[in-house]
Amino acid sequence: MWIIIHPEVRLCRTVVFVLVEYTGLASSNALPATENTTLLEGKFRVPSLRNVAVTAPYMHNGVFNKLDTVIRFYDKHLTNSDNTINPETGVAWAAPEVADNISTAELQDGRKLTDNEIDALVCFLRSLTDEAYEALIPDDGLVCE
């Protein structure tokens, strides 16, 4: 167990680390022993969006540092999307770790997002931040009203 104390805002978080074999999803007693786990490869349980603006890095492997990058990552699957480059690295998006279970059919025919819509989504996600943690929201120049 680790106790993490943030000196600037007097936050204290207790973190418990559990080491498990990396299989994409933690073991679940709800799955029958005969369940085909191949379909579960590359899938992850996701936490609540509460305080998501102050919990970077993002994704299951911590690959993204900014919320707008996460949104652009999902937008890249849309037909004719302008989001072909990872804005944090300046290069094309990396190949998925497990591509067999990606359901891109649902995304391909969707309407691509504009930069203003992406900013609006980031502002919405920031609005889910508890007042006690608002000071931790990164100042990236985006004005949310």
Asked, for residue 144, whether it belongs to a domain, the answer is no
Asked, for residue 55, whether it belongs to a domain, the answer is yes
Asked, for residue 58, whether it belongs to a domain, the answer is yes
Asked, for residue 86, whether it belongs to a domain, the answer is yes
pTM: predicted TM-score of the whole model, two decimal places: 0.67
Asked, for residue 108, whether it belongs to a domain, the answer is yes
**Measured between alpha carbons, how far is 26 from 79 in angstroms, rounded to an integer?**
33
Domain that holds residue 98: 2-136
CATH number of the domain enclosing 95: 1.10.760.10
Query: pLDDT, tens digit, for every residue of 36-89?
Result: 666 666 666 777 899 999 999 998 888 999 999 999 998 887 777 888 899 999
Q: What angle do CA 76, 120, 88 make, to 5 degrees?
A: 45
Asked, for residue 142, whether it belongs to a domain, the answer is no
Cβ atoms within 10 A of the Cβ of 113, count? 19
The total of structural domains in the chain comes to 1
